[in-house]
Amino acid sequence: MSDTDGKKPLGLRGTPGQVKQSFSHGRTKSVVVETKRKRVVVPKPGAAASSSEGGSGKVSNQPNQARRPAGISEAELERRLAAVRAAKAREAEEAAARAAEEKAREEERERRRQEIEQREREEAEREAARAAREAEEARRAEEAEEAAAAAKAETRAEATDEKAAPRGDRTEKSADRGPTRGGGAPTPRKVDREREDREGRGKKGDAGGRRAGKLTLNAALDGEGGRQRSLAAMKRKQERARAKALGQGQKAEKQVRDVQLPETIVVQELANRMAERAADVVKTLMKMGMMVAMNQTIDADTAELVIEEFGHRAVRVSDADVEQVIDTVQDREEDLLPRPPIITIMGHVDHGKTSLLDKIRQTNVVAGEAGGITQHIGAYQVTTESGAVLTFLDTPGHAAFTSMRARGAQVTDIVVLVVAADDSVMPQTVEAINHAKAANVPMIVAINKCDRPAADPNRVRTELLNHEVVVEEMGGDVQAVEVSAMTGKGIDNLLEAIALQAEMLELKANPNRAAQGAVIEAKLDVGRGPVATVLVQHGTLKRGDIFVVGEQWGKVRALINDKGERVDEAGPSVPVEVLGLNGTPEAGDVLNVVETEAQAREIAAYREQAAKDRRAAAGAATTLEQLMAKAKADQDVAELPVVVKADVQGSAEAIVQALEKVGNDEVRVRVLHYGVGAVTDSDVGLAEASGAPILAFNVRANATARNAASQKGVEIRYYSIIYDLIDDIKAAASGLLKAEVRENFIGYAEIREVFKVTGVGKVAGCLVTEGVARRSAGVRLLRDNVVIHEGTLKTLKRFKDEVKEVISGQECGMAFENYDDIRQGDVIEIFERETVERTLE
């Protein structure tokens, strides 16, 4: 038995582990087999086998045949010995394979070692060749310098001899040199050139020198008149040799540059920024495995590898870095000057906020508001009798203008919370309190309408405690002033409280810097274009300044204050209307003055693209499952598309936010487009394509838009009060809701007998046990209180007459429409369906 065989040998008992082998010098001596009864040693052929019990075994007559243990056949013995031999053979093969593998590894190591030595020898030879070339070049440079010095010295010597010699000798020498142009004496310049030519021929031979004199026929035939190097070429060669000898001809050190690297870059632009050849950059990219041309775009990571390959430094930049030009300097303490406080009037609708502000300003703004409620945010500046200048922001109190109130709280210094004494704390009052707390600004409570008989100021103070507003009369730190916008009572006290609070805040700003402000409101005015109401917060805004605000930019063409007067500049805390924008900004955007128009354009373009990317990412489905789920949800929900146009940006924003809240899981309002300004032809075209009405809030359609709307059948609805618009949209959206179907049970009948009538089928003889049975009603067939059929009645008879209804306690005959499986004892349930129209809450 072999070690690799997991089976027990035939005729033996025990586990495979009880079979042992003994080896000596690679040859099997014997096999020891242990069983429960005895221990048997199986010898190899030719050896003797004995039992551990000392039993007498017989010796075989064949000399080459080993004695077999008792109970083991000759075939079994041969099989076991063959297994042992196979195991030894496998072991020998494995040893040979390991030896061959080790030899192959040794050969591979030797080959690598030889390759490394070969590379080292080649590198050493290249270094030696390079050193030899450099030495040869240095030797040649020295020879050229020596030759140039010798030529210069000889020239000086000849010039000295000519000056010292008599005039006749010089004439003879000149005549010996050959004829001159015009027969006159040669000039000194020509003499020098001819001497240099002769010296060149003498030193370097005719091929390297310059031809002297005219080219004659004899000279050409003698081979001396071939094309020679020009004098300029000779001079350039001498200059190069002289510069190389002086060390000036060495290659300049490579200049390392900081390369600005955006998220993507064109290969040609990358080469320009590195001051390298575009062909070299393309070659480097091809070595990296990228087959690109010089006008193709690569990503920032690849470009950074290329920059490092050329030895430059990469400086990562992003598109958002264009906004770094906006001035964000920190104002020094000595530059800060006192500024007027900004006070925001907030509170519930119809609590008298605008009337109170009108009393302070001595104007009548509330008369110009539709419905007597404020639907815009206004900014005004007031000078009190004491000479103090105050800036007021009037915010709407309607529930739809949450964003306007939030903007007012963010730019303010002090919040005046107006609460009606006869109405106390209301939902928008609580919202105004939360906005003031979120902006972390102090609050002054103005209890208005104290002149009315039902006024109860103490109730207001008490209810404010529920919202953690503790007035001074109750031991808190919030000032509370009782006022009346109608009679003017308490107005002076309110202004005094505002001045006291502003003095405690110590409000300061630096007027001598680039202006920064917040857009309170924006609109598209006919004749003036886009107009933004801006509250300057830092610096001074001047006429002619270039600015960027949100996704728009512009140049200040005019500044108009709250009284309608044109001004040249507006300092901190001054509200003005700004003209000169290229588009209508969003209310709440920040206005920043920049140095150049190019910067303003670049920043506005970046912000516009970023806004488009955000809108695309918000409305896009990232996976196929999300896309299918969105499509299914859109199929299940009915949509009411609308186009909204308003007079100012804040009103349009408030209307859109209110319309998005209209609807439920079955119907919703979809705003296709909203903007400011009059209704135009493009609005009518969009409404016609989508089958949507146009909602015009405090604006009108121009003549061409009205004609187009009447021709195309587009409905334009005009509104001046926001909650009228919202109520109409709710009613229109309610019409898209599916009607609710209700079932009313009107009776039960029990089948007493079933009759089969020719031409009719099975007819149930029934007794109406409860309610009434009607011919027009729906029925259900119940068997053991389980509904087995639902349908309508084909016939309802009492005796032989067809009747409309049968009351309780009477018998009748009923037959079902297209159904005959009726049995005695079944119960018929009779019901009627009622349709109920649904509305949105």
Higher pLDDT, 34 or 144: 144
DSSP code for 507: -
pLDDT digits (tens, 9 = 90+) for 665-691: 778 888 888 888 889 888 898 888 888
In angstroms, the CA 483 to CA 352 distance is 10
pLDDT digits (tens, 9 = 90+) for 321-337: 667 767 566 778 888 88
First to last CA, the chain: 92
Residue 21 reports pLDDT greater than 70: no
| Burial class (CB within 10 angstroms; exposed 0-12, middle 13-18, buried 19+) of 361 | middle
- Residues facing 805 on adjacent strands: 774
Give me the pLDDT at residue 408, please.
58
| Burial class (CB within 10 angstroms; exposed 0-12, middle 13-18, buried 19+) of 789 | middle
What is residue 206's three-state secondary structure? Answer: coil
Give me the pLDDT at residue 507, please.
86
Residue 65 reports pLDDT greater than 80: no
pLDDT digits (tens, 9 = 90+) for 463-520: 888 888 888 888 888 888 888 888 888 888 888 888 888 888 888 888 888 888 888 8
Residue 279 reports pLDDT greater than 60: yes
Give me the pLDDT at residue 179, please.
44
State the pLDDT confidence band at 97, using cuts at 50, 70 and 90: very high
Contact 571, 511 (CB under 8 A): yes
Contact 502, 484 (CB under 8 A): no
Contacts for 685-690: CB closer than 8 Å, 24+ residues apart: 686/643, 687/643, 687/714, 688/712, 688/713, 688/714, 690/641
For residue 20, give the H/E element and its range: strand 19-24
What percent of the chain clears pLDDT 90, i.e. is strictly above it?
Answer: 13
What percent of the chain clears pLDDT 70, i.e. is strictly above it?
Answer: 74
State the pLDDT confidence band at 267, using cuts at 50, 70 and 90: very high
Residue 663 reports pLDDT greater than 90: no
Residue 169 reports pLDDT greater than 50: no
Give me the pLDDT at residue 514, please.
87
Q: What is the DSSP string of 351-391?
A: SSHHHHHHHHHT---GGGSGGGS--S-EEEEEE-TTS-EEE
- Residues facing 781 on adjacent strands: 789, 828
| Burial class (CB within 10 angstroms; exposed 0-12, middle 13-18, buried 19+) of 204 | exposed
Task: Find the mean pLDDT for residues 626-632.
Answer: 67
Is the pTM value of this prediction over 0.85?
A: no
Residue 29 reports pLDDT greater than 60: no
Q: What is the DSSP string of 132-147?
A: HHHHHHHHHHHHHHHH
Contact 812, 796 (CB under 8 A): yes
Higher pLDDT, 407 or 28: 407
Give me the pLDDT at residue 14, please.
41
Query: Which of 184-198, 279-293, 575-589, 650-664 is least confident?
Result: 184-198
pLDDT digits (tens, 9 = 90+) for 404-429: 556 656 678 888 889 988 888 888 88
State the average pLDDT for the chain: 77
In angstroms, the CA 403 to CA 247 distance is 75
Give me the pLDDT at residue 306, please.
93
